[in-house]
Structure 1
Amino acid sequence: MALSMASFIGMSVGSREMAQNMSIRQVLFFRALVGLFVIAPFLPRLWPELRQMRSVGLHLTRNIVHFTAQYFWTIGVVMLPLASVFALEFTAPIWVAFFAWALLGEKLTKARLLANIGGFIGVLVIVRPGFEVVDPAAGLVLLAAVGYGLSLVLVKRLTRQNAPAVIVVWMILIQLPLGLAAALTDWRPVHAADTPWMLLAGAGALSAHFCMAQALRRLDASIVMPVDFMRVPLAAIAGYLIYGETVSFWVFLGAAIILTSNFQAMRAERRR
């Protein structure tokens, strides 16, 4: 989960830099294209499982949902401060807990509910709705959060029959043509100077989802996601160091609430 959080932040920085010269649809396409080159050496090893076409319909559904959510999320990355994007995105655990209960039959224990509630309160403290986040792009990020919540639960379901690496390969194979079809409707010239950002965004996306799938394979989805709340204060620090975005007292207060909620939930889960 720590590697996943770092990778997501790297992907967001790379995507924001790419969007300075490209359309957002191109950003999604090139992220997937870089991912294809990264996974290519591993395809022979994964081919025996890939050719079995396990849960291919579920892979398709998951990736259409995820691709749409990514599009909305990337708009937010370009238009909002990084901390605000990640904070709004973290309404997703509420949907994760709901979809995990509805689709996977996971238990909604008191500890998990309190962790999600505490984490969401921490996000509200950071964002302070009505005071800081007023951009219309915030609504798109909230829609992306619903999509991510459903997508993560579908990943959890896929791990029952698919290795995490295979889930990531299917993500690239499905989202690459989706990204190309979308990018061709709004294609702009590509500059060599954007190559490092393509590599960062593409490798970050691949690493983030691989690490997330590994975590989801080992833990219930409603345990994994409260830990991921830590991405919010980390994104605030990255935004400050790279873009000079202000890190206010509210970010640190929200982070303290998130940490406390997660710590208490982990203790309760270990006892259980």
Structure 2
Amino acid sequence: MTSSDHKSSGLPNPVLPDPVMAALLALGACLFFALLSASVKQLSGEMHGFAIAFWRNLFGFVFMIPWLWRHGLGSLRTGRFGTYLFRSSLSVVSMMCGFTALAYMPIANATSLSFTAPLFATILAALILKENVRLRRWSATLLGFSGVLIVLQPGSTGIGLGEILVISSAFLSATVSVIVKTLSRSESSQAIVTYMVLLSTPLALIPALFHWTWPSLAAWPYVIALGLFGTLGHLCWTRAFAMADASAIMPYDYSRLIFVTGIGMFWFGEQPNHWFWLGSAVIVAAGLYIAQREAFLRRHKATAAAATQASAESAQPGIMPVERIGKDK
């Protein structure tokens, strides 16, 4: 609800304008997601990443029950259940790869490499969605992958299992974003979110059973925190998108790198080197440029569509264009 909506509804004005509140919510979401990663890192010392993924989904479902109770299950009628199942399966695999990677590498490095998802999304959008990706976005994508090489330093330390897993997670995450984009053409956002919650928990349980470990007594607070931080982050992120344009919110996602770097230094004693900072800066710059270009193209398409519609209306006999009506009064 915007400030004008509050005035018309008789409700008191919000303390902060919508864009400011959206920015704070986005930053809060990134902090919660960083704490989620820290909880996973903490648990990785005694539990397999597959089991952690199951507990994250289970307690995420528990914390989402009030939301599900409020919105109901009536929106789940669909003819695309197979697509939902495929999307949820990829999401679970992506989560398992990302969680397992944290057992093998610093949390900051894993987060930095996870920002390759927009780069993969650009490639998949061109190949699957047949979007017209021009030279500038391809150049930004190549620049982003050069940042990945800087972080990885393949010629010195080599590329380990953790790096392979986190990049695989980013690729799967990008694939999921493309699937969600196709789903959103015919399905409501409520149905997309609800199916994700309902399907992920049983899907994550199957591989977790092969690496099952019950959490120790000291680990249970972190297990519960998986669902709590994940749900709070999701709710803040969703609310931020409802209050501001996606192009204004997406850049805040990179603040996760600041949060997890601080957590890694003070919680786990990790010290990123200069190659990490340089490569991260390149990856972030490429991702921000791609987001800016996509926002520009969306605005351009919207303007062109509006102009075409206005032209068509003015060409119809007996219909006076809106701007002429005002002038002729």
Q: Which TM-score applies when normalising by structure 2? A: 0.69
Q: Secondary structure, in 3 states, of the residue corresponding to 1:83?
A: helix
Does structure 2 retain, via aligned residues, the 8 Å contact 1:233–1:252?
no
Aligned equivalent of 2:48: 23
Alpha-carbon displacement from aligned partner over 1:20-79 (angstroms, at most 9, x marks no partner): 333322211110111111111121332254332353221100111121122122111111
Identify the match of residue 88 of structure 1 among 105, 113, 117. 113
Identify the match of residue 106 of structure 1 among 103, 112, 131. 131
How far apart, in 2, do the equivalents of 1:174 and 1:67 lie?
9
Aligned equivalent of 1:123: 148
User: How many residues are treated as equivalent by the alignment?
Assistant: 270
How big is the shift at 1:91?
3.2
Greater shift in the superposed pair: 223-232 or 137-146: 223-232
How far apart, in 2, do the equivalents of 1:54 and 1:218 lie?
30
2:36 is aligned with 1:14: no
How far apart, in 1, do the equivalents of 2:164 and 2:147 lie?
19
Alpha-carbon displacement from aligned partner over 1:85-108 (angstroms, at most 9, x marks no partner): 223333333321122223334332
Change (3 A) 1:28 1:76: same
Identify the match of residue 170 of structure 1 among 180, 195, 205. 195
Identify the match of residue 182 of structure 1 among 196, 207, 210. 207
Q: Which TM-score applies when normalising by structure 1? A: 0.81
Q: Secondary structure, in 3 states, of the residue corresponding to 1:22?
A: coil
Does structure 2 retain, via aligned residues, the 8 Å contact 1:46–1:166?
no
How big is the shift at 1:16?
1.7
Q: Which runs of 5+ in 2 are unaligned?
A: 1-25, 301-329
Change (3 A) 1:264 1:90: closer
Q: Percent identity?
A: 25
Identify the match of residue 169 of structure 2 among 134, 139, 144. 144
How far apart, in 2, do the equivalents of 1:143 and 1:208 lie?
23
Q: Secondary structure, in 3 states, of the residue corresponding to 1:245?
A: coil
Aligned equivalent of 1:159: 184
Change (3 A) 1:265 1:188: closer
1:188 maps to amino acid: T
Alpha-carbon displacement from aligned partner over 1:138-162 (angstroms, at most 9, x marks no partner): 2222322221221121122223344
Does structure 1 retain, via aligned residues, the 8 Å contact 2:103–2:162?
no
How far apart, in 2, do the equivalents of 1:22 and 1:261 lie?
35
Q: Which runs of 5+ in 1 are unaligned?
A: none
Identify the match of residue 65 of structure 1 among 69, 74, 90. 90
Greater shift in the superposed pair: 171-180 or 127-136: 127-136
Q: How does 1:34-45 map to 2 (within 5 A)?
A: 34-45=59-70
Greater shift in the superposed pair: 211-220 or 43-52: 211-220
Larger Rg: 2
Change (3 A) 1:155 1:7: farther
2:43 maps to amino acid: M
2:266 is aligned with 1:241: yes
How big is the shift at 1:111?
4.2
Greater shift in the superposed pair: 112-121 or 146-155: 112-121
Backbone CA RMSD of aligned residues: 3.3
Identify the match of residue 217 of structure 2 among 192, 195, 209. 192
Q: Secondary structure, in 3 states, of the residue corresponding to 1:79?
A: coil
